[in-house]
Amino acid sequence: MRHNASMSPSPIATATASAGWYSATIASFLDTETIAVIGVLATASPFADTVEQKRAWQIEIDLLHRVVQGLHGWIILEFDIPESGRNAA
């Protein structure tokens, strides 16, 4: 597992509403420690800060670190899905 609290996320890895709570190139994501990605996600999350959520992110990020090796592109995690208009009943 990647855990190094002293490593901060790269400038590309930011929490933005338009791209997701965490977005980075795959190369930048691979160079970023799991704990740093979790920090970006936790900071951007509007939900309660729970141990279960952080553990789920840790498992997801550790898996992604393994499976995206050799790929090129972007990683976007936890983005908001806008609600469509609702009809009044």
pLDDT at 81: 78
Which residues of the chain fall short of a pLDDT of 50? Answer: 1-12, 14-17
Domain boundary assignment for the chain: 14-77
Query: What's this model's pTM, rounded to 2 decimal places?
Result: 0.72
pLDDT at 16: 42
pLDDT at 83: 78
Secondary structure (DSSP) of the chain: ----TTPPPPSS-EEETTTEEEEEEHHHHHHS-HHHHHHHHHHH--S---HHHHHHHHHHHHHHHHHTTT--SEEEES-PPPPPP----
